[in-house]
């Protein structure tokens, strides 16, 4: 495995993010761009909460029978003239894709947006094989120009401001007139559209992800607003679908249930502009469409997740509502999380995929405010799953020594109510005495993380239990 | 073990299953055969046929598509010609060979009509819809020689002819029709659900119309029962119909919704500062259709 | 005795919470006062911590020990009431999770959890209280603490009782239901992020134009008070129970004790 990540440096990443004014300015768009729209879309559909239940149940049912639905799906893809490839690891998936590209002599590949592609670091593998990948989603295109990773699974460049994008375009599109006006975001879009239109027509292979796979018909589904995914898969000779095994749903009816919650949760749209159902290659009589249709099914640790308490995470449909509503994500952005999947869903998924020893900070970097769970379209109990990771870390002695010893000390007293009352009465009395002039402390040993920026209220004096007992005695 | 066997073995180990258990297989076969429908939105299912059509038009327009309504198929070419004229576009289009399109009296217009797939040189593509879904104003198109998929995405203007009888309440209703046409468990190569024209909000979450796909989506709805439709007025910018295509855009062009002074520092007066969804969409449409029209032109 | 067949004057075990016990006992007395006003008898069994810090840091063993300790200590009461959505949420929602799959313990945990309520929801939803006899001259803004809001549905109840306080006006802040950044040990472990979150909250509090900030959880209150005070913002911070019990004249959180 060659996964590149900086998750172990989460704290340092977060520190940098908090001191990056451009990033902080851009992050304001997360709150203003998503939350009210989702609320409005949900409120407009009286059945929305029932659909969330339905979506959860469909995914649970599919996961419990995943092997059988995969068999059915594979048979249907094959019957439609497509090819299904199984990739146990990220390396396997990249190799399958690059092998197909080599076999058909591909020079350039047009890519629709795919988080699986990020997960397996496909672009690096393609480039190593002499194939030029071209990201065609506007956000992913910008990311590729900058040599970055998306900082959000739906809005890849949510961390950028338009002036940054403008300077990237001026740097890369050096054949265009230098004096052109790129100030308005419309002109940035128009320029990207012009540049990419040529690339679509040149590409030999198109690669897309899949939002869902349908067992009933062997269909892959992509959901986009730009139409880039459709151009990527319609114009080149070969279409490769990259999908992980948990994208499966049983039927077109089930897919329709999922689609009713996806766009509303993601962007607050009733439905995305383009929802495209693809089944196999060009048919007899077709005048367009790909001649070859391949599906690469990635496992990469997911089959193991089915076994335990993290199975629920496999319901995730990548809508990003969790990160859109997360106060930690709002504060530090997606890159701080240090790998492909940021925010609450990433805090649960990343430890499964790259190891809790590396992604251990992520499930801890949550206030457990529960807002993510309250908006999750498939009702994944994200805080509970993060807590399960904390339990694993605790069991494996991976949590920080200060936390462990602090908890041990606290637990020692908390388990012994009499000793606790005695000790706390004395300690609080002393602290109250120290803090009585101001009523609060500007610094406290062991609580520097707090008192660096916040005062800490001093105790009133005697504990409640002591005062209550004294009052009862008097009565 | 092949990679395939490896994945199946891992899944089955995790699920504690051999994959051979009869009851499990029965459950899966039954679900694939019976296809339970789940939760359907009453906003679409509890409507009469007429209300359903009205909902479709309302939702399609909310997605920034434009709609013109004609009483008979013969009127469709004129409505399309009018749409192109209203946008200062050349009277030329490319369409598939769908029999419903072949049967239209194109010769009654001055339109230059080509057929077949496009390679991106056509400003307008015309398709016949397989169906439509009232609940979200969504068009359903099916690939094939009749309606090449490239026509849905490459031209700047996509015009879709839709028969009112094909307007269904829900997605599920359309799947029923797909099965009737192609067989249970069988799908055409591509089914496209299309709801409005292409857009992107990737830059600062500002909604911009016309990303990679068409900048305009125009629906010509053939509805024999639609209220008496006047003949197209000479000077009007739009074909007749419940919602003339252009006035919606035209009115946002005429008005000046820009509020100077509340943009952020980096962007003076020229930026949409969405307060609310519809405003945002209107402004995005305006931004995407600058005053003079040939769509390939950039900002004035 | 189960909650359903509670007597005319139910016996309520006050779970003060460790923060109230140690830092701000006056909240405990305010809570006891309100529970008595609601026609109940108040007892305070020996107690320490609900176990949430251990539970949320992955130490299930300690969390279980503390849960069992609480279950034993509160055996003889009709209700367990805590002036904290977070601790009540731990006792009501998470304690049963700790014993899932162990029939005997699970039954005890479920029976215990059924008796547990957050203070204000207990007053309003269980005891039917619609108003309080209290006066507070000033404008307040109310922060919805996360666990209370999302685990227990505390939202309308405190506002309803606050509206009955004479002289009090509520000015809602922007995003009252967004986390203040406390998150228990999170506030120390990830102090910098916690601070960034509470800084936004402090801005919203100040922008609301209220002189007093109220909430139902002392942890969140200490976090917000600490930020407001460090920045020298003129907003006083109190637990909602203090105002509802007519104790709004006492020194606010982080203020020096009077007369010293």
Q: What is the mean pLDDT of residues A250-264?
A: 98
Pairing of strands A456-457, A205-208: unpaired
Which of A441, A465, A467 has the highest number of chain C CBs within 10 A, making it the mutation to test binding with C? Answer: A465
For an interface test with A, give the residue of C51, C57, C153, C221 to mutate (most A CBs within 10 A): C57
Distance from A254 to chain C by nearest Cα, in Å? 29
- Is C77 in the same domain as C119? yes
Statement to judge: residues C188 and C236 lie in one domain: yes
Confidence of residue A475 (pLDDT cuts 50, 70, 90): confident
In DSSP terms, B194 is beta-bridged to A274, B139
Q: Does C41 fall in a domain?
A: yes
Alpha-carbon distance of C223 to C225, in angstroms, equals: 6
A191 contacts in chain B (CB < 8 Å): 298
Please check whether residue A190 is in contact with residue B298, taking contact to mean a CB–CB distance below 8 angstroms: yes
Of B153, B186, B205, the CB nearest to A227: B153
Residue A52 pLDDT > 80: yes
Residue C192 scores a pLDDT above 70: yes
Question: Tell me, what's the pLDDT at B137?
Answer: 98
Determine, for residues B202 and A273 on separate chains, whether the beta-carbon distance falls below 8 Å. Answer: no
In this model, does residue C258 exceed pLDDT 90? no
Question: Interface partners of A (3+ CB pairs, < 8 Å)?
Answer: B, C
Residue A133, strand partner residues: A109
Give the C-alpha distances (Å, rounded to integers) separating A340 from B53, B55, B88.
Answer: 44, 40, 46
Least confident of A333-347, B255-269, C37-51: B255-269
Structural domains present in chain B: 42-243 (3.40.50.10420)
Same domain as C234, residue C144: yes
Q: What is the pLDDT of residue B94?
A: 98
The pLDDT value given to residue A3: 63
pLDDT in tens, A53-107: 999 999 999 999 999 999 999 999 999 999 999 999 999 999 999 999 999 999 9
Same domain, C12 and C112: yes
Query: Residue B281: its pLDDT value, please?
Result: 73
Choose the CATH number for A55-304 among 3.20.20.70, 3.50.50.60, 3.40.50.10420, 3.40.50.720.
Answer: 3.40.50.10420
pLDDT digits (tens, 9 = 90+) for A355-365: 999 999 999 99
Between strands C212-215 and C135-142, the pairing is parallel
8-state DSSP, C122? I
pLDDT-derived band at C94, boundaries 50, 70, 90: very high
Q: What is the pLDDT of residue A99?
A: 98
Residue C74, domain extent: 3-126
Helix (H, G, I), strand (E, B) or coil at A83: strand
Residues C84 and C177 in one domain: no
Domain range annotation of chain A: 55-304, 419-474
Residue C100 predicted with pLDDT over 80: yes
Average pLDDT, chain C: 95
* Cα-based angle A81, A86, A87 (whole degrees, multiple of 5): 140
The pLDDT tens digits for A194-216 are 999 999 999 999 999 999 999 99
* Burial group, residue B263, by CB count within 10 angstroms (0-12, 13-18, 19+): middle
Q: Which positions in chain A touch C66 (Cβ < 8 Å)?
A: 411, 414-415
Q: What is the CATH number of the domain that holds C64?
A: 1.20.1050
pLDDT for position B290: 44
Whether the complex's predicted ipTM is more than 0.90 is answered with: yes
- Work out the end-to-end distance of chain C between its first and last CA atoms, rounded to an integer number of angstroms: 46
Q: What is the pLDDT of residues A412-463, one digit of tens each?
A: 999 999 999 999 999 998 998 888 889 999 998 878 889 999 999 999 989 9
Q: Is residue C105 part of a domain?
A: yes
Cβ <8 Å between A303 and B11? yes
pTM of the model as a whole: 0.92
Q: What is the sign, positive or negative, of the torsion defined by CA atoms of A355, A359, A360, A364?
A: negative
The predicted pLDDT at position C2 comes to 47
Q: Measured between alpha carbons, how far is B181 from A474 in angstroms, rounded to an integer?
A: 87
- Nearest CA to B44 out of B135, B133, B137, B123 is that of B135
B-chain residues within 8 Å CB-CB of A228? 211-213
Q: Which of A68, A181, A230 sits opposite B28 (nearest CB)?
A: A68
- C-alpha torsion sign, points C162, C164, C167, C170: positive
Verify that C189 and C112 share a domain, yes or no. Answer: no
Q: Which helix (H) or strand (E) holds B245?
A: helix B245-254
Dihedral over Cα of A342, A348, A354, A360: its sign: positive
Do A1 and A90 contact (CB within 8 A), yes or no?
Answer: yes
Residue B77 CA to residue B104 CA, distance in Å, equals 7
Q: Tell which of C81, C97, C126 closes a domain.
A: C126
- pLDDT tens for B172-221 read 999 999 999 999 999 999 999 999 999 999 999 999 999 999 999 999 99
Say whether A283 and B188 touch across the interface (CB within 8 A). yes
Q: Which two tokens stand for residue B241?
A: 């119909």
- Asked whether residue C31 falls in the same domain as residue C83, the answer is yes
C95 and C12 both lie in a single domain: yes
Last residue of some domain: C82, C102, C126? C126
Residues C116 and C184 in one domain: no
Q: Which pLDDT value is given to residue B286?
A: 62
Say if residues A318 and A244 touch (Cβ distance below 8 Å). no
Our count of domains for chain C comes to: 2
C53 occurs within a structural domain: yes
Clarify whether residues C147 and C110 are in a common domain. no
Local mean pLDDT, 10-residue blocks, chain B (300 residues): 97 97 98 97 96 97 97 97 97 97 97 96 97 98 96 98 98 98 96 98 94 96 80 41 37 34 39 51 62 37
Co-location of C145 and C109 in the same domain = no
- Mutation target for B interface from A79, A137, A288: give the one with most B CBs within 10 A: A288
Task: Give the pLDDT of residue A139.
Answer: 96
Does C96 share its domain with C114? Answer: yes
pLDDT for residue B261: 39
Only one residue has tokens 């920045």, namely: C231
What proportion of chain A, given as a percentage, has pLDDT over 70?
Answer: 99
**CATH code, domain with C142:** 3.40.50.1860
């Amino acid at each position: 495995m060659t996964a590149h990540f900086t998750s172990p440096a989460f704290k340092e990443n977060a520190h940098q993010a908090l001191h990056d004014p451009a990033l902080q300015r851009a992050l304001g768009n997360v709150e203003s761009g998503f939350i009210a729209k989702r609320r409005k879309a949900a409120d407009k559909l009286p059945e929305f909460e029932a659909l969330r239940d339905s979506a959860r149940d469909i995914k649970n049912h599919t996961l419990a029978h995943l092997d059988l639905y995969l068999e059915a799906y594979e048979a249907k893809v094959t019957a439609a003239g497509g090819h299904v490839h199984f990739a146990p690891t990220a390396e396997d998936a990249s190799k399958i894709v690059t092998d197909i590209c080599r076999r058909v002599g591909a020079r350039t590949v047009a890519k629709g947006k795919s988080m699986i592609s990020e997960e397996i670091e496909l672009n690096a593998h393609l480039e190593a094989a002499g194939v030029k990948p071209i990201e065609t989603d506007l956000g992913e295109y910008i990311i590729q120009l900058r040599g970055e990773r998306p900082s959000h699974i739906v809005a890849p460049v949510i961390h950028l401001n338009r002036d940054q994008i403008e300077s990237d375009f001026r740097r890369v599109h050096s054949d265009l007139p230098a004096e052109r006006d790129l100030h308005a975001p419309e002109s940035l879009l128009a320029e990207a559209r012009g540049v990419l239109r040529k690339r679509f027509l040149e590409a030999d292979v198109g690669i897309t992800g899949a939002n869902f796979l349908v067992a009933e018909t062997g269909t892959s589904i992509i959901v986009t607003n730009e139409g880039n995914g459709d151009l990527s898969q319609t114009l080149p000779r070969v279409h490769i679908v990259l999908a992980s095994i948990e994208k499966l749903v049983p039927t077109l009816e089930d897919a329709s249930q999922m689609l009713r919650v996806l766009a509303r949760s993601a962007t607050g749209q009733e439905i995305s502009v383009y929802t495209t159902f693809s089944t196999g290659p060009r048919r007899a009589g077709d005048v367009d469409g790909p001649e070859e249709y391949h599906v690469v099914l990635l496992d990469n640790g997911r089959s193991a997740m089915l076994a335990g308490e993290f199975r629920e995470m496999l319901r995730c449909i990548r809508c990003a509502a969790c990160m859109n509503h997360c106060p930690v994500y709002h504060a530090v952005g997606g890159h701080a999380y240090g790998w492909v999947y940021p925010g609450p869903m990433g805090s649960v998924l990343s430890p499964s995929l790259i190891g809790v020893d590396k992604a251990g900070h992520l499930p801890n970097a949550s206030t457990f405010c529960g807002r993510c769970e309250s908006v999750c379209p498939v009702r994944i109990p994200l805080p509970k799953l993060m807590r399960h990771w904390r339990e694993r870390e605790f069991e494996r002695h991976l949590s920080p020594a200060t936390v462990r010893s602090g908890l041990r000390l606290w637990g020692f007293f908390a388990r012994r109510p009499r000793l606790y009352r005695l000790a706390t009465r004395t300690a609080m009395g002393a602290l109250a005495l120290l803090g009585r002039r101001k009523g609060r402390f500007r610094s406290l040993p062991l609580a520097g993380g707090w008192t660096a920026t916040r005062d800490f209220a001093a105790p009133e004096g005697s504990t409640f239990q002591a005062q209550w007992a004294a009052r009862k005695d008097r009565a | 073990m092949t990679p395939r066997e490896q994945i199946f073995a891992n899944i089955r180990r995790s699920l504690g299953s051999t994959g051979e258990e009869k009851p499990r297989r029965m459950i899966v076969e039954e679900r694939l055969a019976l296809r339970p429908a789940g939760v359907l939105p009453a906003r679409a299912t509890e409507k009469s046929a007429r209300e359903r059509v009205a909902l479709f038009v309302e939702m399609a327009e909310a997605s920034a598509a434009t709609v013109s309504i004609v009483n008979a198929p013969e009127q469709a070419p004129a409505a399309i010609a009018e749409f192109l004229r209203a946008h200062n576009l050349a009277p030329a289009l490319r369409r598939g060979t769908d029999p419903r399109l072949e049967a239209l009296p194109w010769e009654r217009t001055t339109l230059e009509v080509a057929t077949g797939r496009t390679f991106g040189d056509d400003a307008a593509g015309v398709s016949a819809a397989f169906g439509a879904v009232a609940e979200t104003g969504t068009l359903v198109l099916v690939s094939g020689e009749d309606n090449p998929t490239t026509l849905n995405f490459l031209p700047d203007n996509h015009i879709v002819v839709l028969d009112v009888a094909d307007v269904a309440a829900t997605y599920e209703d359309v799947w029923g029709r797909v099965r009737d046409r192609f067989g249970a468990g069988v799908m055409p190569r591509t089914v496209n659900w299309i709801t409005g024209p292409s857009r992107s909000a990737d830059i600062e979450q500002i909604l911009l119309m016309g990303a990679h796909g068409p900048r305009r989506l125009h629906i010509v709805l053939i509805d024999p029962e639609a209220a008496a439709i006047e003949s197209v007025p000479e000077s009007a910018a739009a074909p007749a119909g419940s919602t003339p295509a252009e006035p919606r855009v035209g009115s946002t062009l005429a008005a000046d919704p820009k509020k100077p002074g509340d943009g952020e520092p980096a962007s003076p007066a020229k930026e949409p500062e969405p307060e609310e969804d519809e405003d945002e969409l209107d402004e995005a449409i305006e931004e995407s259709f600058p005053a003079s029209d040939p769509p390939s032109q950039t900002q004035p | 005795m189960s909650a359903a067949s509670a007597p005319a004057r139910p016996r309520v075990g006050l779970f003060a919470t460790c923060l109230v016990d140690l830092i701000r006992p006056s909240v405990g007395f305010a809570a006891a006062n309100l529970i008595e006003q609601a026609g109940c008898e108040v007892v305070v069994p020996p107690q320490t911590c609900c176990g949430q810090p251990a539970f949320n840091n992955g130490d299930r063993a300690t969390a279980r020990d503390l849960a069992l300790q609480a279950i034993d200590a509160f055996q003889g009461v009709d209700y367990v009431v805590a002036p904290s959505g977070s601790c009540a949420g731990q006792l009501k929602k998470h304690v049963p999770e700790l014993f899932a799959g162990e029939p005997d313990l699970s039954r005890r945990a479920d029976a215990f959890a059924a008796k547990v309520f957050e203070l204000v929801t207990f007053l309003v939803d269980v005891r039917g209280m619609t108003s309080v006899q209290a006066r507070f001259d000033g404008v307040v803004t109310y922060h919805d603490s996360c666990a209370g809001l999302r685990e227990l549905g505390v939202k309308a109840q405190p506002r309803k009782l606050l509206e009955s306080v004479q002289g009090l006006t509520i000015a809602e802040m922007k995003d009252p239901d967004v986390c203040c950044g406390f998150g228990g040990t999170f506030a120390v472990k990830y102090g910098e992020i916690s601070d960034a979150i509470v800084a936004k909250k402090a801005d919203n509090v100040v922008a609301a134009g209220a002189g007093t900030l109220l909430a139902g959880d002392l942890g969140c209150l200490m976090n917000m008070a600490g930020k407001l005070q460090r920045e020298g913002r003129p907003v006083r911070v109190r637990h909602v129970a203090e105002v509802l019990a007519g104790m709004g004249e006492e020194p606010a959180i982080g203020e020096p004790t009077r007369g010293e």
